[in-house]
Amino acid sequence: MDGLADLLPEPDLIVWLDVPLEEAWRRNGPPTVFEVAGDDTTYPAFADFQQQVLDDLHDQVKGIPQMVLDGTMAADELARSAVDGIRTIARSRGTRAADNRK
């Protein structure tokens, strides 16, 4: 990663909430300038730009443990899945926090 990210410690785990582009488009409403490249606010422009961003992010975090969660799950199910995955990673690293259940 370039810039500020180079100054930060590497994360123990990256958690991705994976939402299909069609679902993101449906949930989002009209895209902002941060979600498309240029003035084209059509779905194809949104999908192309978002895929480019995602590909770039994946390239930047190669080699870091990652967990992909289905972003279309219900919030409580998503939270349980995230906590379970984080505990699994923590246990594999021998982290005491893995056993702290609050």
Give per-residue pLDDT as tens, 37-53. 888 899 999 999 999 99
pLDDT of residue 99: 52
Domain boundaries, position 92? 3-99
pLDDT of residue 96: 53
pLDDT of residue 95: 59
Do 18 and 71 contact (CB within 8 A), yes or no?
Answer: yes
- In this prediction the pTM is 0.71
Residue in this structure with the two tokens 């490249």, named with its chain if needed: 37
The runs of H, that is alpha helices, within 2-92 are 21-28, 43-60, 75-92
Helix (H, G, I), strand (E, B) or coil at 1: coil
Q: Is the pLDDT of residue 31 over 70?
A: yes
Q: Is the pLDDT of residue 1 over 50?
A: no
Do 1 and 56 contact (CB within 8 A), yes or no?
Answer: no
> Of the candidates 41, 46, 59, which has an alpha carbon nearest to the alpha carbon of residue 20?
46
d(CA 51, CA 35): 11
Angle (nearest 5°) at CA 24 between 21 and 27: 150
For the chain, the domain total comes to 1
pLDDT in tens, 60-98: 899 998 999 999 999 999 999 999 988 988 888 775 554
